[in-house]
Structure 1
Amino acid sequence: MALNFFFFFLTLLSNYLTFLDAALVPAMYVFGDSLLDVGNNNYLNFSAPKANFYPNGIDFPTRNPTGRFCNGKNPSDFLAEKVGLTSAPSYLSIIENRDRTYKFNIGVNFASGGATIIPQSNHIFVTSISLTKQVAFYGSVYEALVKDLGVNNAKEHASKSLYLIEIGSNDIFEYFGSSNLRKTYTPPQYVDLMCRHFEKQLKRLYEKGGRKLVVIGVGVIGCTPAMRYKSITEACNSEMNWMAFVYNQHLISLLKRLKDELLGFHFAYFDGFSIMLTSIHKPSSFGFSEVKAACCGSGRLNAELACIPKVSYCNNRDKHLFWDRYHPTQQAHRFFSDLIFNGPPTYTFPINVQTLVAI
């Protein structure tokens, strides 16, 4: 009996070590907005963007809402799986629950629904965690890594880890929703402001060891159900899409310049704009049958009322591009994540994540 238990223990240990060896990177640190949030906004008392209620999470492994703005997993989950890691928990869940046992060297998620690149100073209450604040949180995490691992090991750990970033949509939404911003900045000036703030935060990450970045460009946000709903013809908001496209082009140029300027800096950029646009124009090619209406919601395009408890939701969720008024379905996230990880340079360049982790 004891001998059998010993061999059983060895088998478990072997499987665990195999899992560790299978990890392509030591950790993944996640920054962004609601497309990557895994529950940080659950801990913001005054945050309006929340998803910790049914039917969000209906297709998540636990079948429960987690704070993800989706019916299931988002790209941070899928990419973690692909590099052999478990999904990084939300930073605030660790801090608020005073989990002193958690080791940040296996990754953490700072993303927050509603987050912007440009800090919004006109809000009385904290409704989301801006990119500036997220990077500041990472600075605290890095200091903890230095304390636990030592300076040299912390640097090596950080340099081998992945830094997943997706943000910018809410800045553009803010611009079109604020007459003051439009009076203060022309669209080119505002895009330039977004890029300058983004560059500053990338350099802060670099100073704290970040070397391998996965950056997701802003999608076709003018074609979300929320934006189509505002049009009598249910057409996309072309002005909003144009600003997203221009911002992405500036972002690509910024990343290329930083690669030339910063020693050891590498990136994989995912052109979420192009793949979403192609999915909308040729939905059947990607397995979708509905690309205008949300799966969860009510009213025209299921976008009149948000995805909240007791509203209806579709059964054919894998056929929908959008889960709610703003966010893709789990199936869309899975499809996009596959392209981010090992897709062709048409959508992920100059290298994909599979190549990035091998550097």
Structure 2
Amino acid sequence: MHTKPTPDSQISLFFKSYTIKACSIFILVSFLVGAPSQANAGFFDFLTGATDAKTANADDNNTDNTNDFGTDDSSLGNSQNLHLLESSMNPDVKNVNDCTNVDMDDGALVPSTCDMGIGLENSSNGEMRVYEVQAGDTLSEVAMQFDVSMNTIKWENNLSSNTLKVGQKLNILPTTGVKHIVKKGDTIEKIAAKYDADAEDIKVFNGLSGNSSLKQGDILYVPNGVIKAVVVVEKPSSIKRPIVDNSTPVVSGYYMKPTVGPITSPYGSRRRAFHYGVDIGAARGTPVAAAADGVVIETLDSCREGRSSCGGRYGNYIVIAHNNGTTTRYAHLSRVMIGVGEQVAQGQRIGSTGNTGHSTGPHLHFQIEKSNGKTIRPVF
């Protein structure tokens, strides 16, 4: 037996049915409108945020395309396609402008108008190293490998000749120069005078302040220091007296600046490091000229960019011997234009700047050495 619905129950059923239909329609419409803008939001988020999303999109469309840097981002599209900003301190060397069109004009270097890269060498960390001689090693190759002079190795290991033996252990100093064990009465100034070195370089390299006191037995590294040669000559009285060979060639005015560009890394000592020359910032391909008249005694042109140890970290380089007893080195070249044995004149083009060897950007490393291996601060 069926009971006839009362008017009140009919009204209740009507409202329940209407409410369910209305909610279903609202959910469907909200999903269609709000889902694209809230694809990553939760269920309740898109229900409540659809209107906000539409408002936000409208606001975005009404703004211009200028970013914080004052440039137009309209061509960038989706933010997922934005290019990361790259540090200017480590430029992509492949994007550095070539300066192959820069040339010599009547023997003079023409200033470059190209973008200029900057590179700095990283030096030793200040620690003594021990190297075991391998078959085929020569003293010059070992010295080049560790970026020190041959005399530095000979002095530290008491070598009387350049001959090495397989298996021989060599102490390698962290810098070209000498090791000094502090004795009673020593001062930085006395040590500097003994080894023809710079007192400030000794302080900086060894991390000493102006009021640092030396202790007997302390080990100091003397950057660019030399053990002065003692020559014994006969006198009529038959008394032998030592003569110190400490001649220094005239530097000022003798050398010209070998390429155009600013000095990006000067000569001298850093803490636990020493820069033996100067770095001149110049774009790849900038002409390099001989700093003085001389004869080419060494070249290397087989290094490719990216091989940091090639050429003893110098990369492609040229070494020229001069009449005043010094040699000049031109390193990190992209092109070597002369060969061993050739006579060169001051200002003559010999190569092009590059980024070979241990280098972080196109530049020229220029270095002057005396015959005893001591480097000299370049003065142009």
Higher strand share: 2
Same fold (TM over 0.5): no
Q: Which structure has more helix as a fraction of its residues? A: 1
TM-score by length of 2: 0.22
TM-score normalised to the size of structure 1? 0.22
